[in-house]
Amino acid sequence: MLQSVVRPLQRLRSELGLSPMARAERRADLRVGLAADPGLDIAIEMAVRWLCRAQDRSRSGDGGVARHFSLLTGWSASYPETTGYIIPTMIAAATEFADDSLRARARLMLDWLLSIQFPDGGFQAGTMGAEPLVPAVFNTGQILLGLASGARVWGDQYGAPMRRAADWLVAAQDPDGCWRRFQSPFAMRGEKAYNAHVAWGLFETARVCPDAPYADAALANVRWTLGQMRPNGWFDNCCVDTPAAPLTHTIGYALRGLMEGFRFTNDTELLDHCRRAADGLLGALRPDGFLPGRLDARWRGAVDWACLTGSLQVAHCWLMLYEYTGEPRYRQAGTAVTRYVRRTMRVDGNPESRGGIKGSFPVSGDYGRFEYLAWACKFFVDANLLERSLRL
The verdict on residue 197 lying in a domain is: yes
Containing structural domain, residue 184: 21-391
| 325-373 pLDDT, tens digit each | 999 999 999 999 999 999 999 999 899 999 999 999 999 999 999 999 9
Q: How far is CA 382 from CA 215, 300, 347, in A?
A: 24, 26, 19
The verdict on residue 12 lying in a domain is: no
The verdict on residue 14 lying in a domain is: no
The verdict on residue 1 lying in a domain is: no
User: At 340, which CATH number?
Assistant: 1.50.10.10
| 6-41 pLDDT, tens digit each | 444 445 455 667 999 999 999 999 998 999 999 999
* Structural domains of the chain, count: 1
| Mean pLDDT of the 312-328 span | 98
The verdict on residue 69 lying in a domain is: yes
pTM value is 0.95
- CB-based contacts of 11, cutoff 8 Å, min separation 6: none
| 97-107 pLDDT, tens digit each | 999 999 999 99
Mean pLDDT of the chain: 95
Please report, rounded to a whole number, the percentage of residues in the chain having pLDDT higher than 70: 96
| 265-304 pLDDT, tens digit each | 999 999 999 999 999 999 999 999 999 999 999 999 999 9
Check if the beta carbon of residue 250 is closer than 8 Å to that of residue 239: yes
The verdict on residue 6 lying in a domain is: no
The verdict on residue 311 lying in a domain is: yes
Check if the beta carbon of residue 70 is closer than 8 Å to that of residue 76: yes
